[in-house]
């Protein structure tokens, strides 16, 4: 009877393709003769975030004994730090669940595998820290050189956009005509209405004098 395996995959941004990891891990499971009982995927979840819904669900199912092996594409897909990574490894080890990483070609079924897990986890965290520091250093240098950081503000005529929308044009028509998103059109129209609301609200009401009072 084949061993039951779970696949865990994570990508940091929604525009990345989690299927790339899943395809690789499905092939690995097929080569090893594992039966994949479930795939857990966290999409758009940064490596620094503590909460990962799919990882939490995978660990919960591990406690229920639904599989005996966890397959991942790489160590850095699993945890936000070496400490967190080793905590996950300890939890899986206490449950008798093996951990297999495709990129590092290591499993934790033996003491050597456990040693390599610790070493490579430390290297992965160091690499991630160096990348973050290089990015921060580059941003500081660009700021000192006088360059603007972040997105350039849109050069659009907001009043014209609001007029086009309020005149009856659809969201899609207005957004295409001015080269902005539909959400931006909705926001600018709402802001324009909020700015004009107080004026409309506090306009004096016409006073009607009864004919009898003039007598």
Beta carbons of 124 and 72 less than 8 angstroms apart: no
Asked if 12 is an active-site residue, the reply is: yes
Half-sphere exposure of 88 (CA within 13 A, CB side): 28
Q: Which among 193, 158, 163, 150 has a CA at the least distance from the CA of 179? A: 158
Separation between Cα atoms, residue 207 and residue 209, nearest integer Å: 6
Q: State how far the Cα of 45 lies from the Cα of 56, in Å rounded to an integer.
A: 13
Q: Which two tokens stand for residue 124?
A: 């992965």
CA-based radius of gyration for the chain:
29
Tens of pLDDT, residues 47-63:
555 568 899 999 999 99
Q: Would you kindly state where each structural domain of the chain is located, as residue ranges?
A: 4-130, 158-201
Per-residue pLDDT tens digits for 159-213: 888 898 888 888 888 888 888 888 888 988 988 888 876 544 445 545 444 444 4
- In our burial notation (b when 16+ CB lie closer than 10 A, e otherwise), range 126-147 reads eeeeeeeeeeeeeeeeeeeeee
pTM value is: 0.53
Active-site entry in 12, 68, 81, 184: 12
- Phi and psi for 67 in degrees, rounded to 5? -160, 165
CATH 3.30.70.120 fits 4-130, yes or no: no
């Amino acid at each position: 009877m084949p061993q039951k395996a779970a696949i865990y995959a994570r990508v940091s941004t929604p525009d990345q393709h989690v299927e790339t990891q899943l395809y690789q891990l499905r092939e690995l499971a097929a080569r090893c003769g594992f039966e994949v009982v479930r795939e857990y995927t966290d999409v758009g979840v940064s490596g620094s975030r503590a909460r990962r819904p799919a990882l939490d669900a995978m660990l919960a199912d591990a406690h229920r004994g639904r599989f005996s092996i966890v397959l991942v594409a790489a160590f850095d897909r699993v945890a936000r730090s070496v400490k967190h990574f080793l905590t996950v490894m300890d939890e899986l080890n206490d449950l008798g669940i093996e951990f297999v990483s495709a990129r590092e070609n290591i499993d934790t079924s033996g003491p050597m595998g456990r040693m390599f897990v610790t070493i490579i986890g430390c290297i992965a965290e160091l690499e991630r820290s160096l990348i973050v520091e290089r990015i921060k250093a580059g941003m500081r240098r660009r700021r000192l050189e006088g360059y603007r950081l972040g997105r350039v503000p849109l050069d659009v005529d907001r009043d014209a956009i609001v007029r086009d929308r309020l005149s009856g044009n659809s969201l899609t028509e207005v957004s295409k005509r001015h080269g902005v998103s539909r959400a931006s059109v909705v926001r600018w129209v709402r802001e324009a209405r909020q700015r004009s609301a107080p004026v409309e609200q506090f306009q004096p009401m016409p006073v009607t004098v009864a004919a009898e009072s003039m007598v």
